[in-house]
Amino acid sequence: MVIFSGAHTVGVVHCGTFGYRLTSDAEKGMDAAYRTSLRSQCNFNANNKVPMDAGNQYAFDSSYFANRTATESDAALNSPRTVDKVRQWKNDNPDWFKASFASAMVKMGGIRGTYGGKVRVNCRRVTGSGRDPHFRISKWSATNVNGTHD
- Helix spans in the chain (H): 2-5, 15-18, 32-42, 72-75, 83-91, 94-109, 136-141
Residue 61 assigned as binding residue: yes
Residue 150 assigned as binding residue: no
Closest CA to 52 of 35, 40, 67, 37: 67
Q: How many residues does the chain have?
A: 150
With beta carbons less than 8 A apart as the criterion, state whether 101 and 7 touch.
yes
From CA 125, how far away is CA 119, in angstroms rounded?
10
With beta carbons less than 8 A apart as the criterion, state whether 1 and 8 touch.
no
Residue 53 assigned as binding residue: yes
Residue 8 assigned as binding residue: yes
Binding positions are 8-9, 53, 61
Q: Which residues are annotated as a binding site for Ca(2+)?
A: 9, 53, 61
Binding-site residues for heme b, in ranges, read: 8
